[in-house]
Structure 1
Amino acid sequence: MTNPYLISRDRLVPAAPDAVFDLLARPSMHSVIDGSGTVRDAQPQGPARLAPGATFGMDMKMGVPYKISNTVTEFEEGRRIAWRHMGGHVWRYLLEPVDGGTLVTEQWDARAVRHRVMYRITGVTRRHPANIEQTLEKLAGHFAN
């Protein structure tokens, strides 16, 4: 049985893990690959490149504009990066070198969120699979050019 609070998708990206990781570690690039249409831009006071424990803000829009602050919670150069915001859920990217590039797994993980049932009630868990697939498609397309 799958857990609705851990949504995971993967895709082959035609680039080396270090190149993919470098893109993911730069908040200014998140809007370029965002498949949900909610990520607008990185806030300028944050770091240009993420590191363990770094905090960074993003300008978002889901109906109305808002800002969100994130903290890097997992960081293994070239292999794994994840961040969490005040909602408690984690966005995670796992990178595995394979023939032809990198197998990138993107995960939305709300298993540790206390009131996670709200994500199901509001439809978040239904929307995220398609959004993640779109993000991975944009990520792969970024390196295909």
Structure 2
Amino acid sequence: MGQNEFSVSSSVVVNAPAEAVFAVLADPRKHAVIDGSGTVQGEMSGPERLVLGSKFGMRMRRGIGYRITNTVVEYEENRRIAWRHVLPGRWRYELEPAGESATKVTETYDYAAMLPKLIARTGLPKQNLRSIEATLQRLKSHLED
């Protein structure tokens, strides 16, 4: 778990192969299941499996309801996937082998391309770190149960 100047991230080891973990992350319909922020409300639109350049939308709620469209901006099958919405911050998942059938999953919110010093003062990075930690635990539970 940690924070550098313009990103926050945390990791967890999931007792599942990278292919199984990546299948969940690359399926936007699963995002409401693993979301630890409580903001993803479902009603997903887009492809069943994300690839580089895929666009997918979802209904969100943080105080008020809204819809957001994301675009996959980084993609390496079974290793890395990242997306962003209208703001240039990126949500990134990186997968590494952690034994014969386990995977270390690192989720990062990278806001360096935004107004990072302003964003840092809002408290959003600390809030996002808590959400990342909760998401990783939900992902782990989803795959291990």
TM-score range, shorter chain: over 0.9
Is 1:38 the counterpart of 2:36? The answer is no
Contiguous gaps of at least 5 residues in structure 2: none
Deviations 1:80-136 (A, max 9, x none): 0000111110000000111151000000001111x2334233321121111111000
In structure 2, the partner of 1:62 is: 62
Deviations 1:38-81 (A, max 9, x none): 1111433x111101111111110000100111110011110000
Q: Structure 2 matches for 1:1-145, cutoff 5 A?
A: 3-44=4-45, 46-99=46-99, 100-113=101-114, 115-145=115-145
Q: In percent, how many aligned pairs have the same letter?
A: 45
Q: Which runs of structure 1 show a deviation greater than 4 angstroms over 4 or more consecutive aligned residues?
A: none
TM-score normalised by the chain length of structure 2:
0.92
TM-score normalised by the chain length of structure 1:
0.92
Rounded to whole Å, the distance in 2 between the matches of 1:96 and 1:16 is 10
Contiguous gaps of at least 5 residues in structure 1: none
Query: How far off its partner does 1:34 sit?
Result: 0.5
Q: CA-atom RMSD, angstroms? A: 1.3
Question: How many aligned positions are there?
Answer: 142
Rounded to whole Å, the distance in 2 between the matches of 1:8 and 1:119 is 16
Rounded to whole Å, the distance in 1 between the matches of 2:63 and 2:122 is 14
